[in-house]
Structure 1
């Protein structure tokens, strides 16, 4: 899990043009939101890899994933298509929101509650 979030965070810096259009327009500075999201994912990913901070970092991931829900909802609202970019069938947006996101939240919750078992 830690590696997953670390790599995802780095991706925010390497390909910001992929993430910025996914940020809902009611956020006034999408570039800053993308930067902060990337920093959070990198730091939380590293925190999960280090045992003394694993539980707290996993709780951070839980809250971060909840905070990302508006972006997933926005993606559905724009018909899962970004001008000049990502375009997928609508069902993928729904699967991401109602199936994958809860699984990721539960996984982070489980790691937060069982930091010694997590490998």
Structure 2
């Protein structure tokens, strides 16, 4: 849980510190780039906090899974346009696409582990 919380906490903060970078990752077909970046940053922060609290863990984890899926088009956009990210090796942009599914599984496994242990 702590790993997930730290990951999303740092990601959420980054949305406010590196807003322009995240805007650049947004697909052109989406509007309101800055607003979507800031909203996703807020939800990352809320999810990071919520996953640490046992009463909100499951809901926060489900929200984080939805968030991972919602930002997937931006990850695809980055992989399709690696020339816009010269500081990031193109291979990493492609490798992270399947890693997103692994991260969805990891969040799900984490938020359901208490239920598996108790029953």
TM-score tier by shorter-chain length is: 0.7 to 0.9
When the two chains are superposed, the root-mean-square deviation of aligned CA atoms in Å is 1.6
TM-fit CA distance, 1:62: 1.0
TM-fit CA distance, 1:55: 1.0
Q: Which runs of 4+ in 1 moved over 2 A?
A: 85-90
Q: Which has the higher helix share?
A: 2
TM-fit CA distance, 1:43: 0.4
**Partner Cα separation in structure 2 for residue 89 and residue 2 of structure 1:** 26
**TM-score, normalization: structure 2?**
0.86
Q: How many residues align?
A: 113
Residue in 1 aligned with 2:35? 32
Q: Does 1:52 align with 2:51?
A: no
Unaligned runs of 5+ in 1: none
Unaligned runs of 5+ in 2: none
Pairing of 1:40-119 with structure 2 (within 5 A): 40-78=43-81, 80-82=82-84, 86-98=86-98, 100-115=99-114
